[in-house]
């Protein structure tokens, strides 16, 4: 159901790619990177938080696989400390199960933001609505197709890496 909904959503917006589906889980950054054959940092993980402005909504932050959300940066951007969704609330507030949360076709009340950690890549791999799927998108496609409200600078860790030789 998850990939079908994501596929329908993406195709309705002019996307013509394919959703990669796997026999085994791709629910973690490491598993997803191995499945698609890329570096872990190019996995666009969708982190789900309670929305400080809407008690029945979620804030989704799509970040690079090697980025870690910084509490202070999150608080400056959203006005409250980050509180990750509890497992029991994930599907209700995002429309997807744990491991399959993605920035597409989310329920009303779900807000999507793209983290600055993604800007260093031409393309990334967010989940495709299940814990066994991924979608390869350029950054421009991710920005257009996710319906993101904008960019957020809420992560740390990825800036400390030495540039590739």
**How confident is the model over 81-138, as pLDDT tens digits?**
999 999 999 999 999 999 999 999 999 999 999 999 999 999 999 999 999 999 999 9
Percent over 90 (pLDDT), the chain: 90
Helix (H) or strand (E) holding 60: strand 54-64
- pLDDT at res. 157: 79
Q: What is the DSSP letter of 163?
A: P
Q: What are the angstrom distances between the C-alpha of 37 and each of 29, 42, 134? A: 12, 10, 12
Q: Which residues of 108-137 are buried (b: 16+ CB within 10 A; e: fewer)?
A: eebbbbbbbbbeebeebbbbbbbbbbbbbb
Q: Which of 37-41, 53-57, 91-95 has the lowest mean pLDDT?
A: 53-57
Read off the pTM. Answer: 0.93
Cβ proximity of 46 and 106 under 8 Å? no
Sorted by where each starts, the structural domains of the chain and their CATH numbers stand as: 2-157 (3.90.960.10)
Q: What per-residue confidence (pLDDT) applies to 21?
A: 96
């Amino acid at each position: 159901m998850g990939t079908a909904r994501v596929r329908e959503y993406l195709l309705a917006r002019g996307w013509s790619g394919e959703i990669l589906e796997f026999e085994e889980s791709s629910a973690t950054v490491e598993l997803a990177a191995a499945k698609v054959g890329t570096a872990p940092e190019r996995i666009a993980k969708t982190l789900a938080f309670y929305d400080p402005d809407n008690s029945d909504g979620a804030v989704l932050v799509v970040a690079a696989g090697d980025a870690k959300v910084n509490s202070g940066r999150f608080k400056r951007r959203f006005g409250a400390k980050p509180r990750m969704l509890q497992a029991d609330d994930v599907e209700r507030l995002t429309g997807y199960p744990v491991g399959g949360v993605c920035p597409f076709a989310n329920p009303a009340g779900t807000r999507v933001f793209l983290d600055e950690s993604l800007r260093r890549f031409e393309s990334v791999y967010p989940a495709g609505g299940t814990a066994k799927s991924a979608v390869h998108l350029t950054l421009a496609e991710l920005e257009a197709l996710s319906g993101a409200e904008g960019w957020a600078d809420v992560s740390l860790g990825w800036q400390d890496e030495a540039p590739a030789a």
